[in-house]
Amino acid sequence: MSRYLGGMLAPVVFRREIDGAMGRAAGAVPVTSVCVPNIGPRGVRRRVALGLTGAAATALVFALLAARHAAPWAFLAVVPFAAVASLGFYEAKEKT
């Protein structure tokens, strides 16, 4: 079985949902396996810019900590910047 989704035919897989605490099947719910992008080219550019900014901040913080011979635990300050960079690039790639 397939369903028309924005210019593409997407296979539809049905799964059964459980109705609350009673454990009864609520019925079949369609689940598609195709990801439909929800951002345009401008949104992709903004997310790539966020990824690049996060990567630059990560490199800067890491370089400052390394130059000051900071304690190993201080390098955990790099994690939030790296997370922002990776999320920006991931969202741009997946167009979400």
Instruction: Give pLDDT tens digits for 19-57.
Output: 555 555 555 555 666 677 888 999 999 999 999 999 999
Question: Do both 60 and 17 map to the same domain?
Answer: no
Q: Are 35 and 76 in contact (CB under 8 A)?
A: no
Q: Give the total number of structural domains in the chain.
A: 2
Question: Do both 28 and 73 map to the same domain?
Answer: no
Given this model, what pLDDT does residue 2 score?
47
Question: Do both 57 and 90 map to the same domain?
Answer: yes
Question: Do both 48 and 90 map to the same domain?
Answer: yes
Q: Which domain holds residue 26?
A: 2-32
Q: Kindly indicate the confidence band of residue 59, based on its pLDDT and cuts at 50, 70 and 90.
A: very high
Q: Helix, strand or coil for residue 34? A: coil
Question: Do both 28 and 45 map to the same domain?
Answer: no
Q: Are 63 and 45 in contact (CB under 8 A)?
A: no
> pLDDT by residue (tens digit) across 65-86?
999 999 999 999 999 999 999 9
